[in-house]
Amino acid sequence: MGLDYYLILGLTKSAIDADIKKAYRKLSLKYHPDKNQEIGAFAKFKQVAEAYDVLGDPKKKAVYDQFGEEGLKSGVPEGSGQTGAYTHGYAFHGDAHKVFKNFFGGDNPFNEFFDGVDGDLSMGFGGLLGRGNKKQDDSIERDLVLTLEEVFHGCTKKMKISRRVMNEDGHTSSERDKILTITVKKGWKEGTRITFPKEGDQGPNNIPANIVFIVRDKAHPRFKRDGNDLIFTAKVLLGKALTGCSVEIPTLDGRLLNIPINDIVSPGYQKIVPGEGMPISTEQNKKGNLIIRFEIEFPKQLTPEKKHLLKEALL
């Protein structure tokens, strides 16, 4: 047998929006875990939150009133039903504290009200009588993964978010998608934070959270990034490491660098090429360095003749 959301809130189907809000307000305060530690109280607190999440939303309530819990959670035909399309099934997100916080505008209203003789709320908090201060939700952080090419050239990224937005009645909300546009500047370092103020879920008594995107470097097949510098590892044969060579490096902007190496490449040796690294975001037209590190490839075997020649040359 399905859940009877009206029964959970102690209401009948004739209840209006004000009745639903009043019932949720009373029962959520009664069963809130900060106030009620009895066995089963928290489960009741979650049930009350789910009931309000459905009955407090006109669209969900309309589907529930017509098709019951099964129709609400399984989806029902859209429009005339001839197209074969179904609505998305409802699933409670399970966060009863989030429902409570959105309703009251804070996590714990108990320090700002007192109960009357009959246990009804006598002094308001937040959305009850407007006496409490609205509290902003914690920032929501998301990674913005960028390739080195995207950071090298700069680019525009469009990020899709889903959030709850207040309806015109000022009491209910619905989930909607929004596209946030990020203009990536040349040379942005990993860890750069881009903040979109108050783009989180809206509620009648809360300040929406800021959404913060944090730049993360995507692994690159040729380069590693170290601040403004690019690191390239070149593989060279032992003979060339001792006698000199040149290293070809395809750059991030499509050029091919040919870097002569005239020094002896010993362990730990590196070649620095100025101005061939990443753009410096704070200094226009300036770039970091390209650092070439070396991986020396030793021969797997030598003929007696080659060993003799090496001894004569090196010893």
Sign of CA dihedral 120, 125, 126, 131: positive
- Is 108:34 a contact under the CB 8 Å cutoff? yes
Domain check: are 120 and 50 in the same one?
yes
Start-to-end CA span in the chain (Å)? 91
- Is 181:199 a contact under the CB 8 Å cutoff? no
Domain final residue, candidates 216, 249, 271: 216
Q: Which amino acid is at 169?
A: D
CATH number of the domain bearing residue 171: 2.60.260.20
Domain final residue, candidates 98, 133, 168: 133
The CA-based angle 106-199-134, given to 5 degrees, is: 25
Domain check: are 26 and 64 in the same one?
yes
User: Closest Cα partner for 57 from 192, 199, 172, 227?
Assistant: 172
CATH number of the domain bearing residue 78: 1.10.287.110
Domain check: are 23 and 99 in the same one?
yes
Q: Which two tokens stand for residue 131?
A: 């006496």
Domain check: are 191 and 110 in the same one?
no
Domain check: are 245 and 186 in the same one?
no
Helices (H), the chain: 5-8, 17-31, 41-55, 58-74, 96-104, 148-153, 238-243, 304-314
Q: What's this model's pTM, rounded to 2 decimal places?
A: 0.55
Number of domains in the chain: 3
Cβ contacts of residue 198 below 8 Å, gap of 6+? 136, 207, 208, 209, 210
Domain check: are 203 and 228 in the same one?
no
Domain check: are 13 and 111 in the same one?
yes
Domain check: are 260 and 227 in the same one?
yes
Please list the pLDDT of the chain residue by residue as tens digits (315 residues): 468 999 999 999 888 988 999 999 999 988 988 888 888 888 999 999 999 999 999 888 988 888 888 888 887 776 545 555 556 788 888 888 888 888 876 555 554 443 333 334 333 344 444 444 678 888 899 999 999 999 999 999 999 998 888 887 777 778 889 999 999 999 999 999 999 999 988 877 778 899 999 999 999 999 999 999 999 999 999 989 988 899 999 999 999 999 999 999 998 999 999 999 999 988 888 999 999 999 999 988 888 888 888 788 777
Q: What are phi and psi of 126, to 5 degrees?
A: 55, -115
Asked if residue 138 is part of any domain, the answer here is: no
Domain final residue, candidates 133, 157, 179: 133
> What span, in angstroms and rounded, lies between the C-alpha atoms of 217 and 190?
6
Asked if residue 212 is part of any domain, the answer here is: yes
Range of the domain at 185: 143-216
> What span, in angstroms and rounded, lies between the C-alpha atoms of 91 and 93?
6
Domain check: are 9 and 129 in the same one?
yes
